[in-house]
Structures are given as structure tokens and as C-alpha cells.
Amino acid sequence: METIKVLESSHFTGSKGKAVLTVNGEIEEIELVDVKSEKLPFSFKLLNPLQTAFYRFYSGGNALISSPTSSGKTLISLLFYLKNSGGKFIYTAPTRSLIWEKFREFKGFFRRVGIRTGDLIEELSEISQPAVVCTYESLLSAARNRAKWFEEAGALVIDEIHIIREPSRGAAVEEIVSYALEEGIPLLALSATIPGAPELAKWIEAELLLESEWRPVPLERKILNMRKFLSRVKLPKGTPEEKVVATVEELKLKGKTLVFVPRKDLGWQALQVENGVYRKRVLNETLPFIPEEGGKGTVAFHNADVPQEEREVIEREFKEGELERLYATQTLAYGVNLPADNVVIFVKGSFDRLTLRYRFFPDPLTILQMEGRAGRFGLSEKGHSYLIIAGAKENALEEALKEEMEMPFSTALSSGVEREGKACQNRRKAFLSLMLLGPLIRYGEGWKSAIGKMFSLKRNPLLLKEVEEIIEELQEMGFLEGTEPTQLTKLLVSSFVSPYCFSEFRKRLNASETLLEENPTVGYSFVLRPFLRKELNPKSVSVFTGEGFLREAEKLLETVEEKTGLSGDDNFEVLAFYAEGGFFPFKNVARPPGELSTLPPESSLLGQLLCKLNIFDFETVHRAVMMVRSGIPFRFSLLGSVRGLGYMRGNALARAGELLKYHSEIPLINGLKEEQIEVLDALREALSYRYDTVQQVEREATAIVKAVQRIKFPLGDEKLLRFLSSLFVGRKEAIKLTKERALEVLFENVTGKEKGKGKD
């Protein structure tokens, strides 16, 4: 393996510069590559120092690049493809926003680019393009199911490879790497910061390890003690959020500024101070408070609780609009490309008396990832990082940041510990079983070779013993015949559902007959919860709804235990609260927050799985999927397919239906179309639970009536119905189906007559 380091003394202006490198320990200075003279298919004049180093020293095989954000790694992906152009170019990254960004960038090079992010319309189209951009999960699904586009891979780029350290998604990345190593697919791994890069490079069998100390925009770091800083500027004592905002104000920063706070509640409270004290306009619409009017600049908060639609607006406004100050939690540090002129990071330190060392939150690696956002190439001469520390001395943090990059490489599973969570009963076994079953399905008897390529199993032999025990359990449960997965098992894995989760589903289904009849919204939320991968954190919901959710959650848990004899300890109550329209009365909530806003792709997988299982008739499947997809109660859930309604207006209509004691949305829709007084009055009464004035109620009622007037029967989301019908008629045929014909196909094939199929 050749090891190259791009030194900080390198420089680049766009039209001139030089690359200063260490090549296997020796310092070399080389000219930047002239694009035209090398006949490279790019429109600019020179490759930058990092790109030049890659172009000069990469000759083939696998490679690892560890380099700061915005240093030109996207173009290195294309240089990698030019050396490995014998098959499809596949680029994978953790988030939809990154994938769409790369889709637009690669279109200028390939002209035709396929995309997979879980969106329905993409999933129906065949991939014939020479390049594919996709999320990790889409790529993993393609590999497990031997999708043609993965089988034709000639070059694979894994961006943000450091995600392999994350408990929630690290195993997916590790499994993808194992497939590439097993099948000899040329692999390029990219990261801004990853400790133990040489060990990672060795694991992926890299021919080239390229690290960079050079940044396109130099970084200037200042570490400030918060107490000393506030004392120096003589600010009065205040609450933590007042101190945070005051600190940012006193820094007197110019340009785009990212402010990272260690806790979500602190971010929301800082936003309230910005609005109430400093008169800033708040861009967020879904808030734990009602904002006052503001006009002196715009601020926003970006975190996992913000609905996806709002996050996308916030990201766009920070990149291209007037949003100058963006508060964020550490989720923004990974997988979203938002460079800024300034990055302010609030760090909490504490002394560990057992290890006699300081611990920091965020951890040093996350801090390095955060400050990597500082500097906008071509727009700022320097990137500025301000680390505001409390609870420790400045030099302790400085030392910790240096030591972090010298730590050994590790993955989420290599220590043998996986984060606790609520997404499924037997979460750890569910997690490991999917990691095991993917290679079993793909390679059959050769599965051990691929499993053996995984870093975690090499590092931790106890993990291999645990995997062997899981194989024995799956055999006893009937999901494996020897080492051959059953058809049911293959079906589950294709939908990212573990056999352990399926067993929990069957147990709940068998105990929930009365509950499903009396309250189908709560019943199907409870029964189907094991099929959904989201954590559905109750704390995230209570941020916006407070005691309202907590009281309802207690009732939901009591109802389930009383009716089924089972306990719902996997946060099903969050799904049930959402599906009952629980957010409707809360005026500060514009749309369902956090994970609930990302349920549409998840609901598509759910629908696909339920259609294949054929446990319920299609009427039930359709309503259950639309309930999860739109957050509208089961009996009225097809309202979720009506354009112009959305969550709040859809639930206003559903509440009107409940007031009228209707059992479906059909008489409700017909009543509004015919302008029946009793239906209009019920709608106004329902709207009065959310809106305070007659004018607001009438405005919303008018909008709802207009949306209903446009409805054409039959009800249903055309894209979803085509996607589900493709299971029975194929992709090419499904994409041409009308809504009516897609429904016919689904009613013909999903009959619920195979209820006994599959073993518990």
C-alpha cells in the first residue's frame, strides 16, 4: 500500500498552485495536473493538490481518501471511475439530500444518472444508466437481492465512510464493504475525518491511502472558555440558552454561521431567545413554542426532530438564501453538505476520576467533523472555528482533538456492543441476524467467506460465536433449513425485517383480534410496529406536545395491555398518537416532526411486505399503509392520498367524520361535494380545535372543500399503487397502469387467504 499525505503548505487558487506531499515518508513538491494537457473531460484548468496527488499515484485497486470537507473528493470519484470504467459507477452516501446533490453534480459528467433513495417513482424505473447514486440502504437491498445494476458494478464509491462507526447504520456500511471485497469490485472510501485510517485502509485492501492536511480554505481555530469570555464582555448572568445566544452575538461574526449546541432542548430555547430578545425571525414552522413577530435577520434550528420538508427548506435557505445563522445538533455534522464562513461549537467537558482524563460532549471526532464545515471555497478566504468550552480548560480540549486522530480504527460492532433501542424486540439479535442473512441469501454455501471479510468479526471473535448461536435459533424457529433461508426469510430480509421482528408481529397479531375490531388505528399501530425500523422516540414528541402526548401515551399503553395481554415497549404509542391525528390540536406544530415525517418511504416497504405476506386482504393493507404514510386514522386513512390535504387538513376531515359517526371517508367526501350542511358544520367544529378565529376556520374549511371537490374516485396514491402492483406485473408494466387497473391487480392478488403461511 502506498501512503501519500498532502501537506498544509500546498496551495491552490483555481488557476495556479502547487502540491507538497510526503510520499512514503519523503517530501515531494509536484506541479498541479493540467486538465487540458492530460485530456481529462473536465471544464476547469487545473486539478487541486488533493486531486493531483490522486491522479498521479492511483493506478488501480481500492483506495481510501481522508480529507477535509470541500477539498474536491467528488471529482476524485470521477477520476476513480476513469481508471475503473468497465462497469457501472455506483456512488453511495448516507442521506437523500447528499444523494440528490451528487445526482446533479454527476449529471454534468455522465448525462444519464440513475438514482435510488427509496422514493417510489425511482423504484419503478429500471436502471440502465452508466452511473447510479444511492443511499446505503438502497445499495444494500440491491446487493442482497442481486439487482442487475449492482451485479454490473465496475466501481463503487462509499462517501462518509466514517458512518461505519455509528450504531444505527454502521453494520450496513460494513456489509456493503464485505460484498465489494468478496467480489473484487474496485472500492473508493471517502471521509473528512476518520481515526485509524491506516488500519481501515488495510482492511479494505487499499492500494493507496491518501490523507490531507491541506484545506482549500484555511481553517483558523479559537478555543474560548465560556465563563472567561462572558466575564470579559461583562454580560449579566442568565439562563444557559441566554448565555449561548449572547456568546454568539458577542463574537460579532460576519457571513454564514453554524452554531452547534450539545442538546436539542438548548437549541430550541436558543431559538426562542433569538426571537423574543433579539427580534430575529424564526424560519422553522414546527416549534415547541409560538414565535413572536421578528424582523432583524433570520435564524433556524436543524435537528432530527425537525420535519424532513422543513429541514430541506432550511438547508436550501442557508446555502442560497438569507438565512445567516443556523443552530444545529451534531446530526448536521454527518451527511449534509452545508459549508459556512464560521462554525461555533459549544462543548461540555467533565473530568473522569476513574481514567483521570477529561471527557467531552460532543466527542472530539464529532467536533472535528463539525468544524470541517468551516470555509466556503471561492466565497471566504478563511474558515473560522470557535470552540466554546465549559467544564474544562482550553488546553485539555486541544490535546483531546490531537489524540483523537491517533486512536485505532473501530466499527459500530467491533466492540461487540450495539446501542440499545426500541425499534424491535430482541433488537441486538434482529440487528445481527440481518447482517448474517444478507450474505447467506447472496452467496448460499459461500456465506462464511463474505462474513469473514467483515472487520467486526475479525476484531471480535465473540461476535462470531454470537452469530453462530443466532443461526441455531433461526433453524429452530423455522427460518433456516440448514443454512438455506426459507422463502419467507428471503422476503423479510428484502424488506429489512428480521425474523425476530416477524415473530413479534405474529404474536401481536394473534393477540389483537378484539383490539383491531374496536380500535383499528391503535390495533394496527401496535401490530405493525415491529415492521418499522424507526426508533420513534417519545421524548422527541413530548418536546412539541408536552403533557398532552404523555397522558395519551399512558392511555394507549393501558389499552393495549388490557386488550392483548402484551406490553408495548417498543414506542408503538408514538406511531399510534401520530396515526390518531394527535398533533392536530397543537398550533405550534405545522407538520409531524422528526422520524414521523420520513415515514412515507418506510410505508412503501411496509406495503410491499404486507402484499407479499398476503396475511390481510388488500383493503386492510391499503388502509394500514396509508395510515402509516399520512398519519390519518385507519377508517379515514385514504384521505392521505388526496392532493392538497396533508396531515392537518386530512385529520380535520377525519375528526369531522368521527363527529358524524361515519365509518369511512366516502360519505364524508360525498357530503362535502354535495355541500351538505351537517358535514360542513362538522368540519368547522373539527377545525375549531386547532384555529382560534372564525376567519381561520373558514379559510381552512374553504381550502379543504376545494381539495375535496377535485377528488376523482377511486381513492389511492397512484405512485404507491403502481409500486405495489409491480410485485405482480413487473416494473415495466406497472409504470403504465392507471390507478383503477393497479387497484384491480392488487385486489386480485392480495386476498389474505394465506393467513397461516410462515412459521412463528
User: pLDDT tens-digit profile of 124-163?
Assistant: 788 999 999 999 999 999 998 889 999 999 999 999 999 9
Residue 256 domain-assigned? yes
Task: Compute the average pLDDT of residues 22-34.
Answer: 93
Distance set, CA 399 to CA 68, 343, 403 (Å): 20, 20, 6
CA-to-CA distance for 659 and 679, rounded, in angstroms? 9
Examine the domain organization and report whether 270 and 312 are in the same domain.
yes
426-475, pLDDT tens digit by residue?
678 888 899 899 999 999 888 888 888 999 888 888 888 888 899 999 99
- Together in a domain, 108 and 254: no
What confidence tier does 330 reach under pLDDT thresholds 50, 70, 90? confident
Tens digit of each residue's pLDDT (9 = 90 or more) over 172-199: 999 999 999 999 999 999 998 888 999 9
Judge if 199 and 52 occupy the same domain.
yes
Q: Is residue 516 part of a domain?
A: no
Which band of pLDDT confidence, cut at 50, 70 and 90, is reported for residue 369? confident
In this prediction, residue 422 carries a pLDDT of 59
| pLDDT interval class at 334 (50, 70, 90) | low
Please, are residues 125 and 732 in contact by the beta-carbon 8 Å criterion?
A: no
Q: Are residues 361 and 450 in the same domain?
A: no
Co-location of 100 and 249 in the same domain: no
Place of cell 452554531: 259
Inside any domain, residue 624: no
Q: How does pLDDT run across 238-297, given as a tens digit for each residue? A: 899 999 999 999 999 999 999 999 999 999 999 999 999 999 999 999 999 989 888 788
137: which residues sit within 8 A by CB, 6+ positions away? 118, 172, 496
Name the residue with cell 455509528. 166
Query: Are 247 and 396 in a shared domain?
Result: yes
Give CA–CA dist 723/729, Å, rounded: 10
Q: What pLDDT band is residue 419 in, cutting at 50, 70 and 90? A: very low
Owner of C-alpha cell 451534531: 330
Q: Say which CATH number the domain at 194 has.
A: 3.40.50.300
Q: Collapsing DSSP states into helix, strand and coil, what is residue 189?
A: strand
For 417, the enclosing helix (H) or strand (E) is none
Range of the domain at 458: 427-494
Contact status, residue 717 vs residue 709, Cβ threshold 8 Å = no
Q: What does pTM read for this prediction?
A: 0.91
Residue 555 has pLDDT above 50, yes or no: yes
Choose the final residue of a domain: 182, 212, 242.
212
Q: Mean pLDDT for the chain?
A: 91
Residues 208 and 224 in one domain: no
Residue with cell 432550511: 314
What pLDDT does 123 receive? 75
Give the H or E element holding residue 54.
helix 49-57
- Does residue 42 lie in a domain region? yes
Q: Quick one: average pLDDT of 61-67? A: 96
Q: Is the pLDDT of residue 91 over 50?
A: yes
Are residues 200 and 154 located together in one domain of the fold?
A: yes
In the predicted structure, residue 62 carries a pLDDT above the cut 50: yes
Residue 201 shares a structural domain with residue 228: no
Which of 167, 191, 212 terminates a domain? The answer is: 212
- Chain centre distance of CA 724: 23
Q: Is residue 741 part of a domain?
A: no
**Residue 757 reports pLDDT greater than 50:** no
Query: For residue 32, is it within any domain?
Result: yes
DSSP at 25? T
Whether the predicted pLDDT of 658 surpasses 80: yes
Asked if residue 533 is part of any domain, the answer here is no
Residues contacting 741, CB < 8 A, separation 6+ = none
Kindly tell me the burial class for residue 264, based on how many C-beta atoms sit within 10 Å of its own C-beta (0-12, 13-18, 19 or more). buried
User: Does residue 227 sit in helix, strand or coil?
Assistant: helix
Residue the block writes with cell 358535514: 679
Long-range CB contacts (< 8 A, 24+ apart) of 225-231? 225/389, 225/390, 225/393, 225/394, 226/346, 226/388, 226/389, 226/390, 227/390, 229/388
pLDDT category, 425, cuts 50, 70, 90? low
Contact 630, 653 (CB under 8 A): no
CA angle 580, 586, 590 (to 5 degrees): 90
With contact defined as beta carbons under 8 Å apart, do 102 and 133 qualify? yes
Counted domains in the chain: 3
Cα within 13 Å of Cα(413), Cβ side: 27
More confident residue, 622 or 216: 622
Of 478, 494, 510, at which residue does a domain stop?
A: 494
Picking from 269, 379, 291, 299, the residue whose alpha carbon sits closest to that of residue 14 is 379
640 within domain boundaries: no
Q: Are residues 197 and 225 in the same domain?
A: no
For the segment 527-551, the average pLDDT, to the nearest whole number, is 93
Whether residues 203 and 279 share a domain: the answer is: no
Mean pLDDT of 39-46: 93
pLDDT at 424: 64
Contact present, 469 and 457 (Cβ < 8 Å): no
Could you tell me which of 299, 265, 264 has the C-alpha nearest to residue 281? Answer: 299
Same domain, 15 and 154: yes
pLDDT band of 236, cuts 50, 70, 90: low
Question: Is 633 within 8 Å of 579 (Cβ atoms)?
Answer: yes
Cα angle 101, 105, 110; round to 5:
130
